Amino acid sequence: MMNIWLYARNLIIGLWIVFKRTFTKPVTVQYPEERPYLPPRWRGRIVLTRDPDGEERCVACYLCAAACPVDCIALQATEDPMAQDRRYPEFFRINFSRCIYCGMCEEACPTNAIQLIPDFEQSEYARRNLVYEKEDLLISGTGKYPGYNFYRVAGVKTRDKDKGQGENELPPVDVRSLMP
Amino acid sequence: METLFYIAAAVTVLATLRVITHVHAVHALLYLVVALIALALIFYLLGAQFAAALEIIIYGGAIMVLFIFVVMLLGPLAVEQERTWLTPGTWVGPGILALVLLGEVGYLIAVGDHLPVTVSEARQKGVSIALYGPYIIGVELASMLLLPGLIGAYHLGRRVSKESR
Amino acid sequence: MLSTPALVLAMMLFSLGLVGLLSRRNILYMLLSLEIMLNAASLAFIAGGARWGQVDGEIMFLFILTLAAAEVSVALGIVLQLSYRFHTLDVDAFSEMKG
Amino acid sequence: MTDWSHTALTIGVILGGALTLAGLLIWVERRLLGIWQERLGPNRLGPGGCLQSLADMIKIFTKEDWIPPFADKPVFVIAPAIVVITALMSFAVIPIAPSFVVSDLNLGVMFFLAMSSLAAYSVIIGGWASNSKFAFLGSLRAIAQLLSYEVFMGLSLMGAVLLAGSFNLSDIVDAQRHQWFVVPQFFGFLGFFMAGLAEAHRTPFDMPEAEAELVAGYQSEYSGMKFGMFFVGEYLSILLLSAMTVILFFGGWHGPWLPPVVWFVLKMSGFIVLIILIRATWPRFRFDQLLSFGWKVVMPLALINLLVTGGVVLWKAG
Amino acid sequence: MISLLWLIPALPLAGFLVLALFGGRFTRQQVAWVGCGSVGTAAFTTALVGWEFFQGFPDHESYHQTLWNWIDTSGLTVGVSWYLDALSLLMVAVITGIGFLIHLYSAEYMAGDEGYARFFAYMNLFVAAMLTLVLADNLLLLYLGWEGVGLCSYLLIGFWYREPEYGTAAQKAFIVTRIGDTAFAIGLFILFTQLKSLSIQQVQSLATEAWPVGSNLATIVAVLFLIGAVGKSAQLPLQVWLPDAMAGPTPVSALIHAATMVTAGVYLIARMHHLFALAPLVQEVIAVIGLATLLLAATSALVQQDIKRVLAYSTMSQIGYMFLALGVGAWSAALFHFLTHSCFKALLFLAAGSVIKSLHHEQNIFWMGGLRRHLPWTFWTFLIGAAAMSGIPLITSGFYSKDWILWSVWSSPLSHRWIWYGALLGAMLTGLYSFRLIFRVFFGEVRTQPTGEPGLAMRVPLVVLAFLALTVGFLEMPHTLGNVTLFSQYLSHALPTMELLPGMDESSETREQLAVTVSALLGIGLAAILFLPGSNFSRRGADLSTGRPLVTLLQSGWGFDRLYDRACVRPWFLLTRNPGELLDRGYEWLTVGAESCHRWMSHTQTGHVRWYAATVVVGTLVLLGLFAM
């Protein structure tokens, strides 16, 4: 019997607590009119960046596709017949209806090509419109790393430089020589 | 008044006909509810307002709901079997009996003396006073009837477990 | 002025209920027919009460209502029990009380 | 103005008012729920979002009216109509102000009870006719709930009836000229209000349409306007419940300074807000708790209340 | 205040309900508080009501209180209504007052018993039923109380139900009193069918109007009522249950089988005195029954070995005096003896209980002795009780009441001289057996070592009752001695006063009193000679208990048990166990007939419900057809 009174009292206290909420300010943000403040490091939409030379940074290493926990990245590598030894993706496709914006791809990317930017307004009427192709992803800038150029620092031979000519790179060791 | 009465009477009879001929239990029940509501209207027209209200509340609202509840608990209805059981032959005997009954009662009503009818105003007060006055034993008996009804329903309604069977 | 037609109506309803009771094999319909007959009886009581200007008719109706409530609760319990045991509602299947 | 046209006008006002209010309530409820959950609720359409219900209605009307192929068609179609019809019929006996009532029946209370017991059919047969297990379970729950709560709804009402000495709702209101019946009939009020919540399938008694476990229970197969009718019917029954509570226990239209209609509407709105507040706050009962609460707590309470009231009335009468 | 009347039976009833429902959860102390408190409050209420009643007494002779209608159908209206007049107030005062003292006593006496709450529940129920009996305004309510006390008596005799013997004693009491109850009920039916009323006052006035004196109906009803009273009060043909009823706890014997319930018969006859006045023949029968019982019981009491059985027989004997007084029309004298008897007999039983308790439940007086020094309180109170019972002149109440009765017998026009001689002999025997008990129990050498005096809760009732046993008598003193007539004046408003035979003056009264005094003192002296240890005859007195035929006969209460056993019980068993062939054949024929009939009829039992329904319909049709024709 005492329990019943206890329950009743608690229920009425509950009513009062909720009723007091009438006089508190709602936490809702009236979004389209009222823009929320986004921190600069907010992670939103994924873009592919270019290096300062205007070339694609992506070398189609598949690390991003491997790292993606929801498998929303699809790409295929190919080599540029003109620029020898330079790889680039033949297609690069992100299905944003699956992407969870976790940023793993960004962390996995060895060339800083894939980056998450603060944009989040991606609503579409049709689901298929959320599949972004390389043309949709590629931007013309360098993103967060303005001076970085992968091929400059990578120890591979490109059409501009030979082995050992990259930045902070020693000339190649002659393995046949006995000198240190 | 009279028109209303005859319409309600027609509804009652037709709905009742459907009740006893329908093969679908829930539909039959719904027809019966309709018949009950029409009957309540007739009660009202006869001056028994309280009875009319009770007819709907208790009969329509409780007893019939109980019926539907049980029909639901019984699971899927064997409509086809019902259809096979309802051969025209089954109607003959009961039909004759009922006709004889109808004739006899009709005869009784026909030869009965006709007094001027007094449809009086609703007398809930009179009903209550009579109920708790001269009919108090009846009320006691009714409560005595309801108690075994309660106990019986409780006892019968329990599903017999496999072990105890 | 309505009580004679009401009596006739009660009679018709009673006959219909009777026919239903005797012709249906499903115990559920038999119960429904019983309800119809009870209602016919109460209609007759109320018509009688209206005719003689007495309250006894309505009181009898109240008693019939009580009776019906008790009857239905027990009868439906029996129906459930029969259905669990015999897996049918055929009233002719429940003939274990044969003398 | 002739009597006939007065009646017609009253019918028109009450019908229109009830339906409009019911529609408006959809928005009011969403708005209030929003406020109590520290958000805004619908506020786009019209001033403060008050045209939201209109938009909803348009949406519901234009939606596909789909009847499941496995359903029992005629019954399936009838079911939602019953709830609206019975609720609107009940409004016929509600006295909003002196002589502002469609039909001042002698047995108003009984009429209300009759209509509310018939309203149960819509839920029951709707759930049954859907021929789907969730709907079926919902309607089974609705029946059990109805059978238990209908009983003490009537019982708790009778206290007020006893005190007023009449089944007529206007008489009951007039009997509260000096003292609201909620004072002598507090337990009757509690019982009636709880039973009313259960009849209207509102929290914490909304087991038949529990979204969480029964995917909206008896109405889960309904769509389009038929669903809309269930929806409107629910809000109509909220209106009815508040109106009846005000009439039976809170003095109806009586009140100082303001005109009667205003008082009535004010009191009614208070109850509507209370009902929504309850929905915003309280959790749902478990079903067995609901039944045992009804039979073991409220039912004895209502009976004792009735007994004591009867004793007091007799004692006062000498 | 007087409107609190309803509380008097309601309080013990409430006590019963509380104890019956929650007694298991209470501690012993709480149980005792509830049990004694309810009766004590009732006694207090009685005092209040009595005070108010006396305020307007001679002008308002009676007070009615109707609580509600118990039965109200066409033609029969029975209310739960109380009727308070001088007679019922006296009864109520005795029941609640002495009842309270006995409750107080049992709080200690029963302290070690496991059924403590049950005991007090039964006792409270008994008090409630007894109060219902005496306060009832109509005969049906009176009958309810009548049966209620019978039930409680049964429950309390068989209180220690684990002993099969006690259970048998309880059943015996119940069945024997049932004979009387049945007769009483039949009497009620006759009264109701003849007079269409059950109200006591109304019935009596109606009866006085409708029936002439000595009419057959009046005699029949009076006889039936008398049988009821005889059964309840353990008078001659139905007296066999009372000695066995001593199986119950001693306070029960004190309350039920001495002070209150057994006097219900006296109350009934006094209450219905108008009716009995219509049947003078029956009144004579009452007197004869009273005399016979008093002599029979007194002689039986002489030789009993069980202390409680002695007291039981003495109770029968004293009630015999009351019946005697009723028979000769001395209503007030009977009730005065009832009053004094309740005091001294309750006292005797309680003192006996104290003895029994201190002797580890030893009840045989031949195992007692010399308790005078060990139990002084008990001894003195017991002595006062015994003195009051034997009627020691001037100082004891028993003297005044017994003397009144004997004087009434002497002087009543309804009496005969030989009845008076019988009663005088009874007075002598009373002194003899009372003081036999005293000398056996309290004098001589100690045979069983007692544990010591009882505690305060037991001693207080003893002292109060002893005081009452001495002083109650002063309420009414004969013309020759003080001429106090408080009691008879008081009761004259409820009961008619007796007419005296012509020529009864003070000198004859003095002579009669001297005879009574002498006979009582003679009895005591005889007891001293026969039973006082140290006297010559005491050894022979002890021999009285060995198996001489007369002694055996007396010890078995004149062999009524055996008589009933032979006359009723055994023939019945014989009849049922060895049924005659003829009877059997008759029954066999019946069974064969029924069986064949059944076989024929069972064809109709198809087990098909619809078949049954159709049969019903056809039957209805036939009936309707007959009706239509």
Highest mean pLDDT among C30-44, E363-377, E608-622: C30-44
Q: What is the pLDDT of residues C60-93, one digit of tens each?
A: 888 998 888 888 888 888 888 888 777 777 777 7
Q: Judge whether E133 and E267 are in contact, CB under 8 Å.
A: yes
Highest-confidence range of D2-6, D71-75, E521-525, by mean pLDDT? E521-525
pLDDT band at residue E46 under the 50/70/90 scheme: very high
CA E512 remoteness from chain centre:
29
Instruction: Return the residue in E624, E626, E627, E629 with the most chain B beta carbons within 10 A, the one to mutate for interface testing.
Output: E624
Distance from C-alpha of E199 to C-alpha of E179, rounded to nearest angstrom = 24
pLDDT interval class at B114 (50, 70, 90)? very low
Looking at this protein, which amino acid is placed at residue B142?
A: A
Q: How confident is the model at residue B165 (pLDDT cuts 50, 70, 90)?
A: very low
Chains in contact with A via at least 3 Cβ–Cβ pairs below 8 Å = D
Examine the pLDDT at E13 and tell me if it is beyond 90.
yes
- For an interface test with E, the pick among B91, B96, B100 (most E C-beta atoms closer than 10 Å) comes out as B100
The whole-angstrom separation of Cα E315 and Cα E389 is 10
Q: Do E267 and E293 meet the contact criterion of CB atoms below 8 Å apart?
A: no
Q: Is the pLDDT of residue E461 over 70?
A: yes
Given a cut of 60, whether residue B113 has pLDDT beyond it is no
Which of A100, A46, A44 minimizes the C-alpha distance to A70?
A100
> Taking Cα atoms as reference points, which of D237, D236, D232 lies closest to residue D198?
D237
- What is the rounded average pLDDT for all residues in chain E? 86
In the block, residue with structure tokens 């008719």: C57
How do residues A65-100 score in pLDDT, each as one tens digit? 999 999 999 989 888 777 666 788 888 999 988 989
**CA–CA separation, A60 and A78 (whole Å):** 8
Q: Which residues, numbered 113 to 152 in chain D, qualify as contacts with chain B under a Cβ-Cβ cut-off of 8 Å? A: 113-114, 116-118, 120-121, 124-125, 128, 136, 139-140, 143-144, 146-147, 150
Cα–Cα distance between D280 and D37 in angstroms, integer? 8
Contacts of D93 (CB under 8 A, 6+ apart): D101, D102, D103, D104, D105, D108, D111, D112, D169
By mean pLDDT, which of C50-54, D94-98, E361-365 is the weakest? C50-54
Residue B55's pLDDT band, with cuts at 50, 70 and 90, is confident
pLDDT of residue D104: 74
Q: How far apart are CA C17 and CA B39, in angstroms?
A: 14
**According to the model, what pLDDT value does residue E127 have?**
93
Q: Are B43 and B73 in contact (CB under 8 A)?
A: no
**pLDDT-based confidence at residue B116 (cuts at 50, 70, 90):** very low
The single-letter DSSP state of residue A21 is G
Query: Are D113 and B57 a contacting pair at CB < 8 A?
Result: yes
The pLDDT score that the predictor gives to residue A111 is: 86
Alpha-helix runs per DSSP H in E162-279: 164-195, 200-210, 216-233, 241-244, 250-254, 264-271, 273-277
Beta bridge partners of D100: D97
The proportion of chain E whose per-residue pLDDT surpasses 70, expressed as a percent, equals 96
Q: Answer yes or no: do D281 and A18 touch at CB < 8 A.
A: yes
Each residue of E616-625: b (16+ CB within 10 Å) or e? Answer: ebeeeeeebe
Map out the domains of chain A as residue ranges: 46-156
For residue B42, give the nearest of C43, C52, C78 by CB distance.
C43
Cross-chain Cβ contact B118/C57 below 8 Å: no
Q: How far is A35 from chain D (nearest CA, A)?
A: 17
**CATH code of domain B2-116:** 1.20.120.1200
The reply to whether residue B72 touches residue D121, judged by beta carbons under 8 angstroms, is no
Residue E321 DSSP one-character state? H
Q: Are C33 and C24 in contact (CB under 8 A)?
A: yes
Q: Report chain E's C-alpha Rg in angstroms.
A: 27
Cα D16 from Cα A58, distance rounded (Å): 67
Which pLDDT belongs to residue E543?
47
For residue C17, which residues of chain B lie inside 8 Å, CB to CB? 16, 20
Convert the pLDDT of each residue in A98-122 to its tens digit. Answer: 989 888 998 998 888 888 888 888 8
Is D39 in contact with A11 (Cβ distance < 8 A)?
no
Could you report the per-residue pLDDT of E62-89, keeping only the tens digit for each? 888 888 888 877 677 888 889 988 889 9
Tokens of E264: 């219900």
Say if the Cβ atoms of B122 and D106 lie within 8 Å.
yes
Contact between D287 and D149 (Cβ < 8 Å): no
pLDDT in the model for residue B21: 82
Continuous segment of H or E residues that includes residue E67: strand E63-73
Compute the nearest-CA separation of E138 from chain B (Å): 21
Q: What is the pLDDT of residue B101?
A: 63
- Which range is least confidently modeled, E123-132, E493-502, E575-584? E575-584
Distances (CA, A) of E597 to C29, C99, E600, E611: 34, 12, 5, 20
Judge C/A contact: 3 or more CB pairs < 8 A: no
With touching defined as 3 or more inter-chain CB pairs under 8 Å, the answer for chains B and D is: yes
pLDDT greater than 50 at residue E484 = yes
Please tell me the predicted confidence (pLDDT) of residue E146.
93
Q: Mean pLDDT across the stretch D39-63?
A: 82
Residues of D in Cβ contact (< 8 Å) with B37: 118
Say yes or no to pLDDT of B82 above 50. yes
The more confident residue out of C82 and E58 is C82
DSSP state of A88: E
Helices (H), E443-537: 456-471, 486-491, 506-531
**Contact (CB, 8 A) for A134 and A92:** yes
DSSP structure string for chain B: -HHHHHHHHHHHHHHHHHHHH-S-HHHHHHHHHHHHHHHHHHHHHTT-HHHHHHIIIIIIIIIHHHHHHHHHHT-S--HHHHHHH--THHHHHHHHHHHHHHHHHHHHHHHS--PPP--PPP-HHHHHHHHTTTTHHHHHHHHHHHHHHHHHHHHHHSPPPTTT-
pLDDT digits (tens, 9 = 90+) for E200-237: 888 888 888 888 888 888 899 999 999 999 999 888 88
What is the ipTM metric for this complex? Answer: 0.63
What is the spatial distance between Cα E259 and Cα E244, in angstroms, rounded to a whole number?
17
Mean pLDDT value across residues E4-15:
91
Residue B97 pLDDT > 70: no
In tens, the pLDDT along E305-318 reads 888 889 999 999 99
Among 3.30.70.3270, 3.30.479.30, 1.20.1050.10, 1.10.3720.10, name the CATH number for the domain at A46-156: 3.30.70.3270
Q: What's the distance, CA A161 to chain centroid?
A: 30
CB count in 10 Å sphere of residue B120: 14
**pLDDT at residue B121 above 70?**
no
Contact yes or no for E440/E386 (Cβ under 8 A): no
Tell me the C-alpha distance between D61 and D58, whole Å: 5
Question: What average pLDDT does this structure show over E169-183?
Answer: 91
pLDDT digits (tens, 9 = 90+) for A123-180: 889 888 889 988 888 888 888 888 888 877 777 777 777 777 777 777 777 788 777 6
pLDDT range class, residue E114, cuts 50, 70, 90: confident
Higher pLDDT, E621 or B93: E621
Task: For chain C, give percent helix, strand, coil, nearest 5.
Answer: 80, 0, 15
Up-side HSE of residue D284: CA atoms within 13 Å toward CB? Answer: 16
Residue among E428, E426, E452 at smallest CA distance from E519: E428
Q: Answer yes or no: is pLDDT of B115 > 50.
A: no
Measure the CA dihedral E616/E618/E619/E623, to 10°: 140
Domain borders along chain B are: 2-116, 120-165
Residue of E nearest to C14 (CA): E617
Residues 6 or more apart whose CB falls under 8 angstroms from that of E625 comprise: B104
Q: What is the pLDDT of residue B77?
A: 64
Q: Is the pLDDT of residue B161 over 70?
A: no
Task: State what percent of residues in chain D have pLDDT above 70.
Answer: 98
Q: How far apart are CA E76 and CA E140, in angstroms?
A: 11
Inter-helix orientation angle E456-471/E397-411, to 10°: 40
- On whether the CB atoms of residues D174 and B131 are closer than 8 A, the answer is no
What pLDDT shows up at residue B118? 45
Pairing of strands A87-95, A131-132: antiparallel
Assign B117 a pLDDT band (cuts: 50, 70, 90).
very low
d(Cα E453, Cα E26) in Å, to the nearest integer?
28
In tens, the pLDDT along E138-163 reads 899 999 999 999 999 999 998 988 88
Show the tokens assigned to E24. Answer: 């298991």
**Mean predicted confidence (pLDDT) in D36-51:** 82
Question: Do E473 and E399 contact (CB within 8 A), yes or no?
Answer: yes
Average pLDDT over residues E192-199: 86
Between the alpha carbon of residue A166 and those of residues A2, A113, B54, D251, E231, the distances in Å are 83, 19, 100, 93, 133
Probe site for chain D from B68, B73, B74, B79 (most D CB atoms < 10 A): B68
- Residue D269 identity (one-letter amino acid): S
* Average pLDDT of the segment spanning B48-77: 81
Cβ contacts of E424 within 8 Å, gap of 6 or more = E406, E515, E516, E519
Per DSSP, E142 falls in state H
Over range D239-250, report the average pLDDT. Answer: 89
Is D107 within 8 Å of B30 when comparing Cβ atoms?
Answer: no
What residues form DSSP beta bridges with A73? A94
Residue D171's pLDDT is: 84
